[in-house]
Amino acid sequence: MFVFDEAHRKVHVPEDRRLVAILRRRYIIWILIFVAVPIALAWLQVFLFGSHSAPVAGITASGPNGVGRGFPVWIRWTHFANLFFLFLIMRSGISILMDHPRLYWNNNCTPGSDWLRFTPIDVPKDRMWTAKDDARYISPLIALPGYRHTPGMGRSWHFVTDYGFILVGIIYVAMLFVSGQWPRLVPTSWAIIPYAWQTFVQYATLHFPTEPNGFYAYNALQQLSYFGVVFIMAPASVLTGIAMSPAIDNAFPWYPRIFGGRQGARSIHFLLLCGYFAFTIVHVSLVFSTGALRNFNHIVLGTDDTRSLGLILGCAGLVIVFVSWIIAYVVAWKYPRFIQRLHRLLIFPLERWMRSSARFDPAERYTRDDVSPYFWANGKMPVSDEWKRLVADDFRAYRLRVSGCVGTPIDLSLAEIRSLAHDQHVSLHHCIQGWSGIAQWGGISMQRLIALVKPWPSARVVEFISYGEGTFGGVYYDTQRIEDVMKPECLLAYEMNDAALPLAHGAPLRLRVENQLGFKMVKWIREIRFVESEKLLGQGHGGVNEDQEYFDLLPYI
């Protein structure tokens, strides 16, 4: 296992490592009904009418009717590649989930409204409890990169492997239709429904059906299962992932509503992960129980015989997958900057297009009635003596300095800022950890501030410096492109829900950039500077979280 220094060990390897799954009672009841009712009906059918073999002829026969038989090399290699990428995606997804180990069907994320949680802790009401406090430890044996509070590296692994998963899927589906192999997976008759039910009855009542030779055909239940995974679950995973993008949600608010909102999409995304896991267990179990030698030869060698070579090579392939997990673990903790840069390289063309296109300007429309009853606090509260003096004086001595590559530097008190403008909007906040919340923000738009200071043409980046600190120390700062701070609804907020901005949420000033994730919206702002490039600041990656925790530079997705 990786050895951390003391600062990182306190964050990544806490003393409390309890991990439990707590599902609300009504969902347990529904799951029992969903599982028990079909099984009970299957047994009732057998009791009343007896067990009959499930017909398979005419369902997926591929050899006799002229469609290419067997498993050509492109099926065999995409099958292995899919396994390789899918497990990396699942493991990185679990790591991301543990940073906010609660799932909801509402965008408010109010504690107690979660339908499933992976933490034994009820959110304390007698003290401040941030979203970072709520994150749970997860073993790197299960997740990638694992440990605690690693959403930056988890997201990089997730997006990098997403590209591989999607590319393999496109190749597989295209070849399925080009080669004429599509009848293996795509039903051509509604007769498959009763056939699949009859097959299920036999499995459920332990009267295992006579299996067709998988080299030529699948039984009806298999075909529906494979069709569901390839043509329903995989696209749904991509679509629900997109629905968690702050840029997409703000520009096209109708889209996440298809899935019940941002949190509904997150919950469905998780359920799809569970579906992949369950499918893998059942699939592998049946491969071994219905003739491992022949089945492995089908998918590894493309032959229909019972030699042991296919099983040997198949097991070697599984060893390669396992070794890849070890390599991924080493890379995640020894060379995290490489994965961050690879992520940036792959996603940058898409993010640059989103930044430059007016169609991705924030357009969400919420009202004051939509405001969440609870809004998670996050980040490390400032502890400096300067900050404490400002708080004690109710920020009357606070001054915001805006300088750098500007024609007119300014130095304003909080009262002067309030007198300049009062812009206001209600928006949905997207945290990189996974939670969300709706609030009304009031302040001065960055467009107005930029008009006052008149940046030089060479100023392409705006640095926001906080009184707070990063997770591992150092001054918290982050950067924004000029194009983003000029977007509609980007403002310096001094109010939240018609009241002065609370200390926990960034008083006296915090940034709101509604097309990005929350870590980019610096709280407790001390100073703003216009600079030529983010590479001139800190370690050159765009912010303290980007420097220390390998977060995204442009987190539109």
- Distance of alpha carbon 320 from alpha carbon 258, whole angstroms: 39
Report phi then psi at 350, rounded to 5.
Answer: -65, -45
pLDDT of residue 212: 77
pLDDT of residue 22: 95
- Distance of alpha carbon 256 from alpha carbon 475, whole angstroms: 35
pLDDT of residue 4: 86
- Distance of alpha carbon 258 from alpha carbon 261, whole angstroms: 7
The secondary structure element, H or E, covering residue 444 is strand 436-445
pLDDT of residue 6: 86
Say which residue the tokens 């997740």 belong to: 143
pLDDT of residue 323: 95
The segments of the chain whose pLDDT lies below 50 read 56-58, 60-67
Please, what sign has the CA dihedral across residues 86, 88, 91, 96? negative
- Distance of alpha carbon 457 from alpha carbon 467, whole angstroms: 28
HEC states along 151-214? HHHHHHHHHHHHHHHHHHHHHHHHHHHHCCCHHHCCCCCCCHHHHHHHHHHHHHCCCCCCCCCC
pLDDT of residue 57: 44
Residue 102 bridge partners (DSSP): 117
pLDDT of residue 219: 87
pLDDT of residue 171: 96
pLDDT of residue 70: 83
Say which residue the tokens 């107690």 belong to: 112
- Distance of alpha carbon 491 from alpha carbon 511, whole angstroms: 6
Identify the CA nearest to 524 among candidates 514, 535, 511, 513. Answer: 511
Burial track 335-362 (b if 16+ CB lie within 10 A, e otherwise): ebeebbebbbeebeeebeebbeeeebeb
Residue range 181-237, pLDDT digits in tens = 898 899 988 989 998 998 899 888 888 777 777 788 888 899 999 999 999 999 999
3-state secondary structure of 36: helix
Using an 8 Å Cβ cutoff, are 411 and 399 in contact?
yes
- Distance of alpha carbon 231 from alpha carbon 351, whole angstroms: 27
The DSSP call for residue 243 is T
pLDDT of residue 123: 94
The DSSP call for residue 282 is H
Using an 8 Å Cβ cutoff, are 143 and 98 in contact?
yes
Using an 8 Å Cβ cutoff, are 544 and 478 in contact?
yes
Domains of the chain: 6-100+135-354 (no CATH), 363-548 (3.90.420.10)
pLDDT of residue 356: 73
